[in-house]
């Protein structure tokens, strides 16, 4: 009985797939490069948006718009700090984590960040955006009928909500793709 089990075990080679360290290193470098590129674009966009709202706060005489601009700038800075905190750590082989486990953990951390993008990326700027729209509504209503000002603000708010929803959906799809990559790693596919 034991001989047949030993023979059967020795004949199974499918479960002992050799680990391709070079392919893993290439995949990890490619993934980190994409994350760095994405983060750089986000930092530049956040700084440009902050610059626009700094200029708006300086140029406008309306205190409501100034306060709203400051809230948007604060929200953008919070987003940039959150993005910095969620960047992948540098891999230090001397720390003892295997390359596969480290790469999997990096993928999982990015998956979790994308899955919760509403909380840490979109939500910090929502109060400033709402304040800004309300301040512009108040200022516009002084120069036109209230219904016309409200209609204009709704015309601006709907695309903003659509963009936020699109960002949320795209990031959820990205989280699903990362989960598929994690599942492939767990199966031994690289």
Structure confidence by residue, pLDDT tens digits, 53-82 = 999 999 999 999 999 999 999 999 999 999
What is the per-residue pLDDT for 18?
56
Query: Does position 1 have pLDDT exceeding 80, yes or no?
Result: no
Average model confidence (pLDDT) across the chain:
88
136-169, pLDDT tens digit by residue?
Answer: 999 999 999 999 999 999 999 999 999 999 999 9
Nearest to 108 by CA among 57, 190, 175: 175
Q: How confident is the model at residue 94 (pLDDT cuts 50, 70, 90)?
A: very low
Residues 70, 54: contact at Cβ < 8 Å?
no
Given CA atoms 145, 147, 151, 153 in this order, what sign does their dihedral have? Answer: positive
Q: How many residues does the chain have?
A: 190
What single DSSP character describes residue 119? Answer: I
Closest CA to 113 of 77, 84, 86: 86
Percent residues over pLDDT 90 in the chain: 68
pLDDT at 7: 65
Q: With 70 as the cut, is the pLDDT of residue 92 above it?
A: no
> For residue 65, what are the CA distances in angstroms to 130, 139, 142, 147?
11, 9, 14, 20
Is the pTM here over 0.85, yes or no?
no
Neighbours of 7 (CB within 10 A): 9
Query: Residue 155 and residue 35: Cα distance in Å, rounded?
Result: 34
- Mean pLDDT, to the nearest integer, of 6-22? 60
Residue 119 predicted with pLDDT over 70: yes
């Amino acid at each position: 009985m034991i001989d047949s089990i030993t023979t059967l075990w020795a004949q199974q080679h499918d479960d002992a797939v050799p680990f391709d360290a070079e392919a893993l290193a290439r995949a990890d470098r490619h993934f980190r490069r994409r994350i760095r590129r994405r983060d750089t674009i986000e930092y530049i966009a956040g700084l440009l948006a902050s610059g626009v709202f700094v200029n708006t706060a300086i140029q406008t005489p309306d205190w409501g718009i100034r306060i709203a601009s400051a809230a948007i700038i604060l929200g953008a800075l919070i987003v940039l700090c959150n993005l910095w905190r969620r960047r992948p750590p540098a891999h230090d082989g001397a720390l003892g984590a295997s390359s596969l486990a480290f790469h999997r953990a990096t993928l999982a951390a990015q998956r979790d960040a994308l899955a919760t993008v509403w909380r840490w990326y979109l939500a910090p700027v929502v109060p400033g955006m709402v304040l800004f729209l309300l301040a512009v509504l108040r200022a516009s209503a002084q120069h036109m009928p209230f219904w016309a000002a409200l209609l204009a603000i709704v015309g601006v708010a709907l695309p903003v909500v659509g963009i936020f929803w699109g960002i949320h959906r795209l990031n959820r799809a990205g989280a699903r793709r990362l989960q598929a990559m994690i599942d492939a790693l767990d199966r031994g596919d690289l």
